[in-house]
Amino acid sequence: MARHQQQLRSQELRTHNHQGDALRLGMNWTEEDLSKPQVLVESAWGMGHPGTFHFEPLITEVNNGVFEAGGKPGVFTVSDICDGVIQATAGMSYSLVSRDVIAAMVEIHALGHPHDGMVLISGNDKSVPAHLLAIARCNIPSILLPGGTQLNAPDYVTSDQTWEIGMSVERGDIPRAELESRQQTACPTCGACQFMGSASTGQVMAEALGLALPGSALTPSFLTRHLRYARATGKQIVQLINKNIRPRDILTREAFENSIIIHAATGGSTNALIHLPAIAYEAGVDITIDDFDRIHRLVPVLANVKTTGRYPVEYFWYAGGVPRLMLELRDVLHLDCLTVTGKTLGENLAEIEKSGFFNERIGYLHNYKIDRDEIIRPRSRPFGTDGGIAILRGNIAPGGAIIKAFTVPKEMHVHTGPARVFDTEDDALDSLIGRRGARKVAPGEVVVIRYEGPRANGMPEMYFASAILAADPALNHTTALITDGRYSGAMKGPCIGHVTPEAIDGGPIALVEENDLIEINIPERRCGIVGIRKKAMEPAAVERALAERRGRWSPPPFRHTRGILSLYSRVATGSSQGALMTPHNGTRQDAIPAAAEPVSHNENAHLELVELEVRKRA
């Protein structure tokens, strides 16, 4: 329904709430501003990390664009925390739940006040999925402006590599000055980290879904082009309001399939398998981890980008970014999906091909004397023959588990080894490092870290454990990790995560004991116990042993009894359902929050309520 057929929420409210105008005029609004479409400009600006610190000029340019197009912006801020800063600390338990809290605050800002549309600015691990959740939930005209990427560092060293460098210092292999030098230069500008981790993956997913302007994902944050995208986004949101184009017009099942196709082609973060099903749920679309497995089997990895590949994601943008990747895959994409341009994906790509879009960018690669096809590979010469992700199942993970298969050494695609079992990541780290007198993990073993799922401990990332494994030449081609927690988007190697059901819910991972033989078979998508006490057994015998263990198992007490993690422990859904803090009970396609629709107006309603209250007191 176009705007001329439907009164704006902001104007509907003004017909009976007379205090609202007075309060806005108190903020130096003009009377003309009151009658304009009101646009929420919400960002994750803050001082938590380089991915948001540079947002103030972007906010200004979005505001300028909104004003130019005839709207009135209103600036709100809810910042995020940094997974890189809180890795290997208790703070990591707050990471995933922060996504839901940020989304809830955006919902409160968007629907509590009478906004007609919103622009959300984010670029990092939890702020981007939080904003996409809020966009799907609120269903008012919306655009996401990606926060962009950092300049690549000297020698292409990225901040995640400082873990390995630090361990080399601790072993005495290199001097501490080498670590300090890399720390000083790993993040030379603001923006998301330079690899295809969770932050970069989120930006790419936003564009692939059709919720960001074409070509805006992973814009180098130091280019003025980023400011132009911000201005254009501010203008375009007013057009979406005028045309009444809403997120659920865009977020169809086909749009989600497009995003999974692009996720496969970029070798994106495993965290997308938590976030995309959650976003789809809010949009009334059923997307499961099996959709990822199905699509990843068909779509090769084409992006030769860090951490598994060679180049920083800055170069991916120079090579043409998401639009170039989409053109390479156009025959498998749903080109009739609507986007925030008001046009279909196919129409956007056709316009880009006819424009100078790619010519501007490719010139940067000419400076580095790098061929575009080396960064975004043609399908005839893929970086990885299958997509990045595989879903494994078995008697440890009947609900599924996730592995970034294209990063796993070939010799570990099929592996059987004895289990080393730990109920916390800290205990596992002791044995991986060999500290505090713990018996060190031996080559060939399978490290099981449990009670780290959403309800048990907020589902922290086991990145430190995976980094130790990757940095140890005796373990990185022989030893695997399995957890009901998750991993950083920078993770690579034989690391299986998101095991469902999680241990605290009685998932079979809770029943694993020391020296159980665990089989991992990526080609056949299996992960399970195949023997007891290092001895192979028939499946029926294994099942009898597990049944006996279940009879004596009882869940440990929850770790968190106060605060937001206590609430998350009580209400979080499983990781395969998006680990949402909101009820997962089959939202209908038309189940839009009431405030997202215009107020059903009775100009005397407030007086009738007052009279009713007076009669009650009498």
Same domain flag for 351 and 498: no
Q: How confident is the model at residue 88, as a pLDDT? A: 86
452, part of any domain? yes
Q: Are 426 and 536 in contact (CB under 8 A)?
A: no
Range of the domain at 496: 389-552
Q: Are 15 and 603 in contact (CB under 8 A)?
A: yes
Q: How confident is the model at residue 584, as a pLDDT? A: 65
Same domain flag for 213 and 352: yes
Catalytically annotated residue among 466, 488, 575, 576: 488
Q: Are 58 and 230 in contact (CB under 8 A)?
A: yes
Kindly state the helix (H) or strand (E) to which residue 103 belongs, with its residue range: helix 95-107
Same domain flag for 108 and 63: yes
Q: What is the pTM of this model?
A: 0.93
159, part of any domain? no
CA distance 481 to 515: 14
Q: How confident is the model at residue 276, as a pLDDT? A: 98
167, part of any domain? no
CA distance 500 to 508: 9
181 counts as catalytic:
no
Show which of 522, 537, 552 is a domain's final residue.
Answer: 552
533-572: b or e for each residue (b if 16 or more CB lie within 10 Å)? eeeebeeeebeebbeeeeeeeeeeeebbeeebbeebbeeb
**Nearest of 502, 509, 554 to residue 529 by alpha carbon:** 509
CA distance 217 to 341: 15
3-state SS, 322-382, equals HHHHHHHCCCCCCCCCECCCCCEHHHHHHHHHHCCHHHHHHHHHHHHCCCHHHHECCCCCC
Same domain flag for 10 and 51: yes
Show which of 531, 552, 573 is a domain's final residue.
Answer: 552
The total number of residues written for the chain in this structure: 618
Same domain flag for 359 and 405: no
Same domain flag for 79 and 205: yes
190, two tokens = 């603001």
Cis status of the peptide bond prior to 146, with omega within 30 of 0:
no
DSSP-derived letter for residue 496 is E
384, part of any domain? no
581, part of any domain? no
Using DSSP's 3-state secondary structure scheme, residue 191 falls into: coil
CATH number at residue 505: 3.50.30.80
Give tens-digit pLDDT for 382-411. 998 877 899 999 999 999 999 999 999 999
Same domain flag for 88 and 194: yes
Low-confidence ranges of the chain (pLDDT < 50): 1, 3-5, 586-592, 594-596, 598-611, 613-614, 617-618
Q: Are 234 and 263 in contact (CB under 8 A)?
A: no
The total domain count for the chain is: 2
Beta bridge partners of 416: 519
Kindly state the helix (H) or strand (E) to which residue 480 belongs, with its residue range: strand 480-483
Same domain flag for 26 and 55: yes
574, part of any domain? no
**Nearest of 408, 414, 472 to residue 443 by alpha carbon:** 472
Q: How confident is the model at residue 100, as a pLDDT? A: 98
Q: How confident is the model at residue 600, as a pLDDT? A: 42
Same domain flag for 367 and 402: no
Same domain flag for 316 and 400: no
CATH number at residue 91: 3.40.50.2300
Same domain flag for 324 and 452: no
Using DSSP's 3-state secondary structure scheme, residue 1 falls into: coil
56, part of any domain? yes
Q: How confident is the model at residue 308, as a pLDDT? A: 86
Q: How confident is the model at residue 612, as a pLDDT? A: 52
Show which of 342, 375, 408 is a domain's final residue.
Answer: 375
CA distance 222 to 228: 12
What secondary structure does DSSP assign to 560-614, as a single string?
A: --SHHHHHHHHHPPPGGGT--SS--S---TT---GGGSPP---TTHHHHHHHHHH
**Nearest of 64, 62, 72, 206 to residue 127 by alpha carbon:** 206
Give tens-digit pLDDT for 217-253. 999 999 999 999 999 999 999 999 999 999 999 999 9
Same domain flag for 369 and 424: no
563, part of any domain? no
